[in-house]
Structure 1
């Protein structure tokens, strides 16, 4: 009987820890999947709101785009197909022609 009294709380603690660890892992996975990425413009004279006009950029997009003349990169979430997710807010920022925390420009060559 004493073994059962000791076993039940230990079993409860182990099961609770397992549920917590599984939940924490799921939250971590969701946070990773919605992280903004840097995207470089392929054709600056093309449609700047077209996701196909961007390619992933692994460096610091702010360093690649240090000026304010020609749009050269954006920060956006991956749409799941390897392209930037073009939200209405991001499209508006792109169309404004002004650098923002998501839209980066460089000097025209």
Structure 2
């Protein structure tokens, strides 16, 4: 058993509770997402075909937000939690050019 499998993040009940309360746990989460999109637009938005590596992608919200700025981007989403990665797949099911990797990066 890996260290990740011993963590709370390997527990589907815990990850559901986190998703339900993420805006509470991460102070000003919405504002941070807007800042990230602004940085992406400024530094990469007009550069053509971009690829994003979303380490610890969780439910895929960051990639989803970046897609509102750049619909042509491709992404690799990487997470140790099978439950979170499945939620990312659900969230981004209509998007092409997405790869999903279930692995811990310990």
TM-score if structure 1 supplies the norm length? Answer: 0.24
- Larger Rg: 1 or 2? 1
More helix by share: 2
| TM-score of the pair, normalised by structure 2 | 0.24
